C-alpha cells in the first residue's frame, strides 16, 4: 500500500474542497481495488451537493489517480413542508434530527436492555417509526424523492449499508448534474467552482422552462415537452384557431 500516494490524493482533494478524506481513501485503497468511488456530501448555502469521485489504479503500479467526479445539485426548497400520503416530511425531518445515526448504525455499540423497561429501547422504537414513515413515502414518486433526500442528509457517513443497504438516489426534475474531469497534472474544478457552474445551469434550466410555458400559452403542457414536432403542431393549431376567431370578430 502506497502511503505517499494516499497522502498526495488527500492533499489534492483538500485543494478541490473535500476535507478530511485521507482516512476514507485509506479504507478503500487497503483492499487494492482496480477502481472505486468515493462519495462526498457538501452543503452550500442550504443547497446540497452530492459528489461521486472516481479513482483508478494505474497499470503496473500501486498508485491511484483521481480521474473525474460527478456532482448533483439538489436545490433547497419548501418541498418538505407538504404532507405526502399522510406523512409530514417536515415533522419526519425533525424526528430524524433527534437520532444519533452514527451510533444507531454501529453494530459494535452494545447496551443493556430490558423488555419490561421501555426506556432501554425507546430510541429503537423511534427509529422503527421513522423507517415506517420512510417506507410509506417511498410508495409514491414524489415521496421517493423526499425519502432519498432525507436518507442522504442523515445517513451519509454512517455504516447504513450493512443494515439497510445502499441509499437509492432518486433524482428530482429540479436537480442538475455535471461530470468534471481532472487534468493530468491533478488540477480540477473545485467544489466552489462546481457550485457556481451548477447554479448557473439551474437558472438556465428554469428560464428555459418559463420560456417554454410562455411560448406554449398553456401551462398544462407537460414539462417534458421538448419542442418535438407534436408540440410544434399543437402550437400551430392554437395560433390558427386564434387567427380564425380574430377574422370572425373583424367581420
Q: Is 50 a residue whose pLDDT tops 70?
A: yes
Are 41 and 50 in contact by the 8 Å Cβ rule? The answer is yes
What is the mean predicted confidence (pLDDT) over 13-31?
Answer: 94
What is the mean predicted confidence (pLDDT) over 72-87?
Answer: 72
Residue 160: give the domain boundaries.
78-171
pLDDT value at residue 168:
74
Q: Please, what is the Cα angle at 12 between 24 and 160, to 5 degrees?
A: 20
One domain, residues 124 and 185: no
* Overall domain count for the chain: 2
One domain, residues 202 and 151: no
* 3 state SS of 216: helix
pLDDT value at residue 43:
87
- The reply to whether 93 falls in a domain is yes
What is the mean predicted confidence (pLDDT) over 216-239?
Answer: 44
One domain, residues 1 and 73: yes
pLDDT value at residue 229:
38
Report the Cα 221 to chain-centroid distance in Å.
27
Longest dimension (CA), the chain: 90
Across the chain, mean pLDDT equals 82
* 3 state SS of 196: helix
- Match 406554449 to its residue by C-alpha cell: 216
One domain, residues 156 and 216: no
pLDDT value at residue 224:
39
What is the mean predicted confidence (pLDDT) over 49-71?
Answer: 94
What is the mean predicted confidence (pLDDT) over 211-226?
Answer: 58
pLDDT tens column, 107-146: 787 788 889 999 999 999 999 999 999 999 999 887 888 8
- The reply to whether 240 falls in a domain is no
- The reply to whether 244 falls in a domain is no
One domain, residues 102 and 150: yes
54 pLDDT tier (thresholds 50, 70, 90): very high
One domain, residues 161 and 180: no
Are 42 and 191 in contact by the 8 Å Cβ rule? The answer is yes
217 pLDDT tier (thresholds 50, 70, 90): low
Of 1-5, 81-85, 167-171, 240-244, minimum mean pLDDT range: 240-244
Report the 3 state secondary structure along 81-128: HCCECCECHHHHHHHHHCCCHHHHCCCCCCCCCECCEHHHCHHHHHHH
pTM: 0.63
One domain, residues 143 and 214: no
- Nearest alpha carbon to residue 141 among 198, 79, 213, 199: 79
pLDDT value at residue 81:
54
One domain, residues 140 and 88: yes
Distance CA 231, CA 229 (A): 6
Report the Cα 142 to chain-centroid distance in Å.
14
78 pLDDT tier (thresholds 50, 70, 90): very low
Amino acid at each position: 500500500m502506497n502511503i505517499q500516494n494516499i497522502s498526495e490524493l488527500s492533499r489534492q482533494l483538500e485543494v478541490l474542497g473535500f476535507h478530511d478524506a485521507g482516512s476514507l481513501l485509506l479504507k478503500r485503497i487497503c483492499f487494492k481495488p482496480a477502481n472505486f468511488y468515493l462519495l462526498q456530501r457538501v452543503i452550500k448555502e442550504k443547497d446540497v451537493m452530492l459528489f461521486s469521485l472516481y479513482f483508478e489504479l494505474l497499470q503496473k503500479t500501486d498508485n491511484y489517480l483521481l480521474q473525474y467526479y460527478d456532482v448533483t445539485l439538489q436545490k433547497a426548497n419548501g418541498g418538505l413542508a407538504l404532507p405526502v400520503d399522510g406523512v409530514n416530511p417536515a415533522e419526519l425531518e425533525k424526528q430524524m434530527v433527534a437520532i444519533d445515526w452514527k451510533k444507531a448504525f454501529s453494530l459494535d455499540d452494545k447496551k443493556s436492555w430490558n423488555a419490561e423497561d421501555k426506556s432501554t429501547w425507546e430510541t429503537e422504537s423511534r427509529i422503527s417509526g421513522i423507517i415506517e414513515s420512510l417506507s410509506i413515502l417511498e410508495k409514491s414518486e414524489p415521496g421517493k424523492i423526499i425519502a432519498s433526500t432525507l436518507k442522504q442528509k442523515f445517513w451519509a457517513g454512517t455504516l447504513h449499508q450493512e443494515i439497510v443497504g445502499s441509499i437509492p438516489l432518486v433524482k428530482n426534475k429540479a436537480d442538475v448534474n455535471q461530470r468534471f474531469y481532472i487534468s493530468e497534472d491533478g488540477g480540477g474544478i473545485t467544489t466552489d467552482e462546481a457550485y457556481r457552474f451548477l447554479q448557473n445551469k439551474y437558472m438556465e434550466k428554469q428560464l428555459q422552462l418559463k420560456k417554454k410555458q410562455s411560448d406554449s400559452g398553456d401551462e398544462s403542457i407537460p414539462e417534458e415537452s421538448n419542442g418535438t414536432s407534436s408540440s410544434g403542431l399543437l402550437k400551430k393549431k392554437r395560433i390558427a384557431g386564434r387567427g380564425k376567431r380574430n377574422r370572425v370578430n373583424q367581420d
